[in-house]
Amino acid sequence: MKILVIGGDGYLGWPTALYLANKNFNVCVIDNFSKRKIELDNGINPLHILNPLQTRIADWNRFVKDDKKKIKFYSGDILNQRFINKVLLIFKPDHIVHYGEQPSAPYSMMGKAEAEFTQKNNILGNLNLLFAIKRACPNAHIIKLGTMGIYGTPNINIEEGYIKIKHKGRTDKTLFPMRPQSFYHLSKAADSMNLDFVCRVWGFRVTDLHQGIVYGVNTKETEYREEFITSFHYDHIFGTVLNRFLVQAVTNYPLTVYGSGKQVRTFLNIKDTLQCIFLSIKNPARKFEYKVRNQFTEKFSIIELAQKIKKAGHKLGLNVAIKKIDNPRIEKKKHYYNPINKEFKKIGMKPTKLNETFIVNSLKYLLKYRDKINKSAFYPKVKWKNQV
């Protein structure tokens, strides 16, 4: 079975490619390396300086030896219609895992240029991909990385993709209302609308994974050799909140809780992201079906997370403090939040829980690299109100 991973250089894309290749899928990855350029432009780096993707793939292919586990690679941009057409016509994938988008809400809120880049890169890139699929491989199953952030924080339960409504004596089923909180999340909402449309009109098969906040450093395959590590960020642009807290804890930097800390969000371990991709491949959407799965395992308030890190850090003798700072984002201080995630449970997902053992082991791992950490990258420099 052939699987194309778009965005194979990223935090999730690289471990996904290794994971699927290790399961003997025929894997091909593409990337335009735009995230590396954003890192360079903003003076930020992941914890480990990564080799070029071409080098990492060559290292992996030598390591595995088995031709069934080797990975193919094309360098290019899905905004280039000729490029993506050519790749699909040559490779003819059965499944397409689409990670290839600008993934940062803070970056999208830096200014007009960043908002414009995010929406053009994400929305038009996704649209180019859809037209290329229609031409080259219309039966391919699309697995698209979405985000729980498109829902916002409604005062009702968040269903999986759809909601039944009753209005003036009549009933209908429609996509769940979207209330994105950044230009990045807006781009994801537009993607979802386009995906729903091509399923209804062109008969596409799409699984849209509305993913929570991912945390974690390693997966089984990235631990094989140091060269296979993924792009772990802890900075204010690309670093997810739990990963940032872990790194702050090992550097004796106060855990920066935005605002009240009572904001509740959904979370999952990076290993569960890989599990969800695999389950989506094994349980694909049908023709004309736009399937939404809310991809998360647990929900926590931000202050709960900080307290968990503090408690685990103290067991290792770390002086972990919590500091509430002005919230750079525009979000409710306290809110109802009850998303549903039954779909993955139905098809056999076995969630990895965030427990003290995981936190302690993560802190121990990060302590080895404490001298590499740039503490100036922690504090948020992007404020939603100040965008120009």
Joined together, the tokens standing for residue 148 give 């729980």
Contact 193, 290 (CB under 8 A): no
- Cα 13 to Cα 157: distance, rounded to the nearest angstrom: 30
Q: Is the dihedral of CA 64, 69, 70, 75 positive or negative?
A: negative
Joined together, the tokens standing for residue 99 give 């990670």
184 tagged catalytic? yes
- For 336, other C-beta atoms within 10 Å of its C-beta total 12
- Cα 329 to Cα 327: distance, rounded to the nearest angstrom: 5
User: How many CA atoms lie less than 13 Å away from 128 in the CB half-sphere?
Assistant: 22
- Cα 144 to Cα 167: distance, rounded to the nearest angstrom: 32
Taking the CA atoms of the chain, what radius of gyration do you get in angstroms? 20
Contact 236, 379 (CB under 8 A): yes
DSSP for 303-340, written as a single string: HHHHHHHHHHHHHTT----EEEE--SS---SS----B-
Contact 299, 266 (CB under 8 A): yes
Q: Which of 369, 378, 248 is nearest to 305 (CA)?
A: 248
147 tagged catalytic? yes
Annotated catalytic residue: which of 188, 291, 308, 310?
188
- Cα 321 to Cα 306: distance, rounded to the nearest angstrom: 9
Annotated catalytic residue: which of 16, 118, 147, 240?
147
Joined together, the tokens standing for residue 64 give 């595995």
Query: Residue 23, class by beta-carbon neighbours within 10 Å (0-12 exposed, 13-18 middle, 19+ buried)?
Result: middle
- Cα 162 to Cα 174: distance, rounded to the nearest angstrom: 5
Q: Which of 302, 284, 301 is nearest to 293 (CA)?
A: 284
Active site amino acids: 147, 184, 188
